[in-house]
Structure 1
């Protein structure tokens, strides 16, 4: 982690250099369309200025990295989550010090139990979002149903299939090495995290991993199983911008969103484990979830149709009067978690 700030500085200067290139391309396109040959001459005269800006940014990057060489500070957790969600695929290949490896956070304050609940965060989040802005479902479940909460952190800008495959392997290692026999395992995924959890099950089925034997629940909170209209809108915007020479450089900027974000357009194919229950919980800003507005608006990011996906074998529920972020910290959501996890634990122990 010692070089995290240095890498962040290099990323910032590289991003600024990219913005300069976009501005120059837009300047060139606008000048050419509006002034013809005169515009081309104007662009040629401006080129050295853009070049000097790039040289200045390159020098600034070197100075910043040198100044931060001995810094032990790290980026704030929320910044790390946003960076990984927005461009995590490129971080992994070009700025690995900033790319989040998939790993598990385990609370050491409580003795381990054989009832594990694994929480998988959403896009541009980290595991700390489960407890940063409200009551932590995991610690409350430890008190109320005797579960041990485990929290996954992953690079949400990478493909859902990639993170699902890695999570499947990690869960196999956790169950095999847990200090007490695991009798009950449940996955709770928020938003993208639900897709990652379901993909982990899919990968485990393909590889015949042993942790499937103790899997009881796959709970998805506001997960876009059928995709998100927000991401589909971004894809359309990129196409529209690319249709005009003056705005085509901006299309590159929109198209640069991460592979993980692009996966949100249509969802990800997953196979369900027959011995486990899928539980899909959706939210809608409308007080009445059955109203037309409730079905259309959803939680403003994910529609109720996508979050409940009628093509899947699952228990479904919709909570009214909630936005997408409220699914992380709400008493009605927690009440459903307690009901689902208590019933499965009773079944396993019986």
Structure 2
């Protein structure tokens, strides 16, 4: 929806120029009118449709399970998942079998496809599906009865290794888990430094760390207790560090909306929270940006308390790996006898699909049929709030400074330098000053979480808290930060 100022600008522009352009469509006034429209629209702070009116619970589903996945939930979820996996594979095998039989004899058409279902072969495949669903349903019922019989106080959450497995499954097919009401579908939860769901009063400054695809809140913890969260605590003892855990397989915009509500609840329950800093790795940075967008759109109070946003290797303009996967799937779908295999690509989560172009708004997918996103040139911009100090970190596997297109495309192995730093043409440029961008050489995508060099830079930014630039020009004219491995002689 447009702000009142936006309506006034557009109304005045049309009122002064439209009449002449209609009377003389080929006149200079007509051409000038079109140019002025785009110039005025570019000056508006926010241009967006009211996506809250379009979103429904069905489009952005939420999980309705306990805060932590228990062992009973884990085994029940695996039983259901295994059953659905067999059914999906059966569908693919049947589709290939059907095509191999019908296409060579020229009978691959709607009439024979419908007739296939009532034939002997079609009935056999149908029986396999029915039996597997029946077995899976009975197994799930056994686990549900087991959970109901034991004392709820003795329910144990899954261990660290199983927790990582649960998060991987959520990343790969998290939206499917939610749609099937699978008990291992993760809710969005804030954890404290001890690995327990946050529960208690906090005040002052809060740092929220958001993990990436297929990871968990445990991913920030290192074996020697030197994770980023602990580094922040050592430099700012009065700061409360919270770790976000969420289903990375859901739409990024859905997770963004949920995070916005979680942070609003946090500030409502803790009115003495003075500042919120968001640090996101990979997809976590996109979820944080989405939360900022929807929090501002809905006029929520928590937005006013956000001081800093730091993203580590976040694909703000998309990840090459997902684009390659989509291309391969599209090619396979066009091949005779093999297009049924393209269904395997549909099993990947909607969250992964959103990484194709870095889509963080509902409008990028809600109007489409199936599980896809708008092409890159048609996705909707999501500008950063002006009062938030934004810092962007990129990494490259190259250990030396080589200013070439190949270096940028290589990036950290998953995300290019340009995408991580928000560099883009037109309205999708994030407009972050060069002095607030950093490139780390000799690091891969996952190394960004554990690198001491990265930790040192993030801590320095959070300590500075935007004080070093008095008017914005210092950052704009500043130099991009370049960090090299300590044990490598770099030739620039």
- Same-fold call, TM cutoff 0.5: yes
Q: 1:80-229, aligned counterparts within 5 Å?
A: 80-107=166-193, 112-131=202-221, 135-146=226-237, 147-178=239-270, 181-229=272-320
CA contact (8 A) 2:396 2:443 kept: yes
1:14-43 C-alpha deviation (Å, 9 max, x unpaired): 111110221121122234445778xx9xx9
1:135-168 C-alpha deviation (Å, 9 max, x unpaired): 3211221112222111111111111111111111
CA contact (8 A) 2:251 2:354 kept: yes
Does 2:343 correspond to 1:252?
yes
CA contact (8 A) 1:133 1:329 kept: no
Match of 2:422 among 309, 315, 336: 309
Structure with the larger helix share? 1
1:109-150 C-alpha deviation (Å, 9 max, x unpaired): 999451211011111122111115663211221112222111
Shifted more, 227-236 versus 140-149: the winner is: 140-149
Distance apart, 1:91 and its partner CA: 1.5
Question: Hey, what's the Cα distance between the residues in 2 that align with 1:313 and 1:175?
Answer: 29
Match of 1:274 among 386, 389, 394: 386
Match of 1:23 among 93, 96, 99: 93
Question: Hey, what's the Cα distance between the residues in 2 that align with 1:291 and 1:345?
Answer: 29
CA contact (8 A) 2:249 2:351 kept: yes
Match of 2:330 among 239, 252, 258: 239
Moved over 6 A (4+): 108-111
Q: Which blocks of at least 5 consecutive residues in structure 1 are unaligned?
A: none
Q: Which blocks of at least 5 consecutive residues in structure 2 are unaligned?
A: 1-69, 148-154, 360-380, 424-428, 469-492
Distance apart, 1:103 and its partner CA: 1.7
Larger Rg: 2
SS in 1 for 2:412: coil
SS in 2 for 1:128: helix
CA contact (8 A) 2:203 2:270 kept: no
CA contact (8 A) 1:115 1:184 kept: yes
Q: How many residues are paired up?
A: 342
Question: Hey, what's the Cα distance between the residues in 1 that align with 2:84 and 2:304?
Answer: 47
Distance apart, 1:73 and its partner CA: 6.4
Question: Hey, what's the Cα distance between the residues in 1 that align with 2:273 and 2:181?
Answer: 37
Kindly report the root-mean-square deviation, in angstroms, between the aligned alpha carbons of the 2 structures: 2.6
1:37-80 C-alpha deviation (Å, 9 max, x unpaired): 8xx9xx96655654554354234324533443415566611121
Question: Hey, what's the Cα distance between the residues in 2 that align with 1:36 and 1:205?
Answer: 57
Q: 2:84: which partner in 1?
A: 14
Q: Assess, with a 3 A threshold, how the Cα gap between structure 1 residues 66 and 167 changes in structure 2: closer, same or farther.
A: closer
Q: 1:300: which partner in 2?
A: 413
TM-score scaled by length of structure 1: 0.88
The structure whose RCO (Cα within 8 Å, separation 6+) is larger is 1
CA contact (8 A) 2:222 2:450 kept: no
CA contact (8 A) 1:4 1:74 kept: no
CA contact (8 A) 1:189 1:197 kept: yes
Q: Assess, with a 3 A threshold, how the Cα gap between structure 1 residues 60 and 332 changes in structure 2: closer, same or farther.
A: same
Match of 1:319 among 426, 433, 440: 440
1:254-311 C-alpha deviation (Å, 9 max, x unpaired): 0232211111111133221111111110111011244434212001110001000122
Question: Hey, what's the Cα distance between the residues in 2 that align with 1:273 and 1:161?
Answer: 17
Question: Hey, what's the Cα distance between the residues in 2 that align with 1:325 and 1:108?
Answer: 22
CA contact (8 A) 1:201 1:212 kept: yes
Shifted more, 58-67 versus 279-288: the winner is: 58-67
Q: Assess, with a 3 A threshold, how the Cα gap between structure 1 residues 164 and 122 changes in structure 2: closer, same or farther.
A: same
Question: Hey, what's the Cα distance between the residues in 2 that align with 1:247 and 1:74?
Answer: 42
Question: Hey, what's the Cα distance between the residues in 2 that align with 1:103 and 1:289?
Answer: 40
Shifted more, 187-196 versus 258-267: the winner is: 258-267
Q: Assess, with a 3 A threshold, how the Cα gap between structure 1 residues 50 and 324 changes in structure 2: closer, same or farther.
A: same
Does 2:459 correspond to 1:338?
yes
